[in-house]
Amino acid sequence: MAEQESLEFGKADFVLMDTVTMSEFMANLRLRFEKGRIYTFIGEVVVSMNPYKNLNIYGRDMIEQYKGRELYERPPHLFAIADAAYKAMKRRSKDTCIVISGESGAGKTEASKYIMQYIAAITNPGQRAEVERLLAICVHLNGMVSARSIFRESQNHSGPWVSVLGVIGMGLLSLEVSSKLYDSVSVVSPQSRVIVQQPGERSFHSFYQLLQGGSDQMLRSLHLQKDAAAYNYICPGAQLKCSINDGAEFKAVADAMKVIGFKQEEIQTVYKIVAAILHLGNLKFSVDGDTAVIENGKVVSIIAELLCTKAELVEKALLFRTVATGRDVIDKQHTEQEATYGRDAFAKAIYERLFCWIVTHINSVIEVKNYDTTVHGKNTVIGVLDIYGFEIFDNNSFEQFCINYCNEKLQQLFIQLVLKQEQEEYQREGIPWKHIDYFNNQVIVDLVEQQHKGIIAILDDACMNVGKVTDEMFLEALNNKLGKHAHFSSRKLCATDKTLEFDRDFRIKHYAGDVIYSVTGFIDKNKDTLFQDFKRLMYNSSNPVLKTMWPEGKLSITEVTKRPLTAAALFKNSMIALVDNLASKEPYYVRCIKPNDKKSPQLFEEERCRHQVEYLGLLENVRVRRAGFAYRQTYGKFLHRYKMISEFTWPNHDLPSDQEAVRKLIECHGFQHDVAYGKTKIFIRTPRTLFTLEELHAKMLVRIVLFLQKV
């Protein structure tokens, strides 16, 4: 139980609710938010409400209050969960992870920042330089992977990337940012944002930062002007009102790169690549017969200059595709549509390679060198996973499909691991385990990822077919193979459902609610083919940084290569790898909730919050966590708190063991039918018993104080 806050603030742990109902959960959530308590436990899970204001609860004094304390000893806080993960890692030499989830605008990125600050601070307070580098890394990556969404002004769109704090035996601190998952998901949601955005959204901050923050001399050298509306890829977001100061953010990112250890020429290469993407978007194609020609050749020369290659080679890669047929090599000229597709695929790929290079470079710079396990002990890590939340838009496409599949996988893992932790504790303590009813979303995960039968398999089959395959044909295949699935529907399968369009929409009944997806673009987005010509072009760049980003470009034209995996297959594989990775660690969770859409520090929108509680599965989490017992504590710590309420245990007991003393205390108050005795812990079934114990404790504390004052 968290440190006893007054009940005027509500219950600090949802597990202690009298009845597990949505109405009681929401009432407690609202009360705590309105009283300024933004954190609440569900056992070892922290529910975090975005306060939409600065709170003075993250300073050094607060860090000291949580450092080394048990989870229940202090009020709910991100620092409590961070310290618990750190102690588990140090005490048991076990890798741990903190999974932060919630929708856009719920405060995930801030939560991950505070958690990393805390871990960095308690690991080795003297390593201030490493802490500065850690925070600089967060700033730099945020500029590269965040964009203004319709929900908030800085949403992470990189997909799930993992920041790993390596906390090693002697208190050394290192940090690794894992790009493995990003390598796979980069072709899905994030890079589509390079070339197109939904209404009300901006592209990645890095583009606007360069235009607004770069000096006049720098912009001239990059052939850029400050007006974002001049660039086709980002002009839709140029007119949006945004409170972000792009000029100031540009300086922050530039300073961060220097702190991290980037060389000046490497920083210049980053700017050149970002500029080249902007110019690519302004390339115009027209038709000459059946083939494409470039209208504005000057832009080609600018792109070639920025990418350190020749203009004629850039033009050839844009207009032709080199095809090997046996020993013969031919140049197949593109149509206007093919040239446009190739240009956009190239722009997305350049940005993806840039991000992955930055991640790899950061890791090489900050890696702890010459680490000796015989001296420092086992190298254990805390993984901090900031995962994008469930998405339901007016128009949901391939990107939302992948994101929501990711959330299904993580929800499944979450429930499984919480159940597993409960079962393991019961087994350790010798307490009988009883079956718990909960919704198992395995059926939805299978709908998406099952071999040969799932949506991804059906989509890949469609993409592998020879000949013209349309999105409508893909939807027809879904109808034929999934028509009887309880969590799948379409207009053809349900002709009276006018919320679905014929030959366009299908619906998945997700654990978080129903989502209608439009198949438009599914085939092209899943293929997302980047022609080998562009890879060779970049590999032969005279810029060594660019060259290292495209190693496969060294393959000869006639060299046979395997067909690349589709975007969905890559994403599926990365999700399976992520789940396996997380399952091997001891998990801790932060569930973030957005109280309103107006960014008001006072407003609690009931339905808005209820929806998030439902799709985060929080009520399910409470049911599983209680598992018959709302509270458990070791005998020694239980006695330390409550021994003054029994004559048999105050001030000390003479019974054979602490367990016997606790048993005597419980029996003298008549609670014996509401508890179970484990090997090292007492388990209390209902919150009412615990609250009664707390009331007795509070009353006795007053009496003791009065007695001491008289003495």
CATH of the domain at 295: 1.20.120.720
The reply to whether 359 and 217 lie within a common domain is: yes
Coil, strand or helix at 491: coil
Q: Is residue 333 part of a domain?
A: yes
- Domain stop point among 539, 563, 587: 563
The reply to whether 331 and 222 lie within a common domain is: yes
Q: What is the DSSP letter of 13?
A: B
CB 412 within 8 A of CB 441: yes
Per-residue CA distances from 665 to 576, 629, 643, 673 (Å): 49, 19, 8, 13
The reply to whether 537 and 638 lie within a common domain is: no
Cα–Cα distance, 361 to 301 (Å, whole number) = 29
- Whole-number pLDDT of residue 543: 97
- Whole-number pLDDT of residue 238: 63
Helix count (H) and strand count (E) of the chain? 28, 19
**Is 104 marked within a binding site?**
yes
Closest alpha carbon to 197 in 223, 227, 234: 234
The reply to whether 556 and 644 lie within a common domain is: no
The size of the chain, in residues, is 711
Lookup: tokens for 451:
């071999």
The reply to whether 205 and 319 lie within a common domain is: yes
Q: Is residue 241 part of a domain?
A: yes
The reply to whether 682 and 535 lie within a common domain is: no
Taking the chain, what is the end-to-end CA distance rounded to the nearest angstrom? 33
The reply to whether 222 and 345 lie within a common domain is: yes
Residues of the chain whose pLDDT is less than 50? Answer: 1-2, 147-175, 179-190
- Whole-number pLDDT of residue 442: 92
- Whole-number pLDDT of residue 153: 41
Coil, strand or helix at 42: strand
Residue 680's CATH number: 3.30.70.1590
Q: Is residue 263 part of a domain?
A: yes
Cα–Cα distance, 374 to 626 (Å, whole number) = 42
Q: Is residue 273 part of a domain?
A: yes
- Domain stop point among 543, 563, 583: 563
- Whole-number pLDDT of residue 449: 96
Q: Is residue 583 part of a domain?
A: no
Q: Where are the alpha helices (DSSP H) in 124-245?
A: 128-145, 180-185, 189-195, 205-213, 216-221
The reply to whether 672 and 541 lie within a common domain is: no
- Domain stop point among 512, 540, 563: 563
Strand partners, 101: 591
Cα–Cα distance, 629 to 364 (Å, whole number) = 48
Per-residue CA distances from 400 to 90, 248, 596 (Å): 38, 32, 22
Q: Is residue 131 part of a domain?
A: no
**Is 105 marked within a binding site?**
yes
Question: Residue 222: which domain range?
Answer: 198-366+530-563
The reply to whether 218 and 337 lie within a common domain is: yes
The reply to whether 557 and 645 lie within a common domain is: no
How crowded is residue 392: how many other Cβ atoms within 10 Å of its Cβ?
A: 16
Cα–Cα distance, 165 to 380 (Å, whole number) = 9
**Is 103 marked within a binding site?**
yes
Interhelix angle 398-429/567-583, rounded to 10 degrees, is 20
Q: Count how many domains the chain has.
A: 2
The reply to whether 536 and 638 lie within a common domain is: no
Q: What is the mean pLDDT of the chain?
A: 85
**Is 484 marked within a binding site?**
no
In percent, the amount of the chain with pLDDT more than 90 equals 50
Q: Is residue 598 part of a domain?
A: no
The reply to whether 678 and 559 lie within a common domain is: no
Q: What pTM, to 2 d.p., does this model score?
A: 0.81
CB 550 within 8 A of CB 533: no
The torsion of the CA quartet 117, 122, 127, 132, rounded to 10 degrees, works out to 10
Helix, strand, coil percentages for the chain (3-state, nearest 5)? 50, 15, 35
Rg (CA), the chain: 29
Per-residue CA distances from 496 to 472, 489, 508, 515, 651 (Å): 20, 12, 17, 18, 73
For 133, counting Cβ atoms within 10 Å of its Cβ (0-12 exposed, 13-18 middle, 19+ buried), the class is buried
**Is 499 marked within a binding site?**
no
Q: Is residue 226 part of a domain?
A: yes
**Is 559 marked within a binding site?**
no
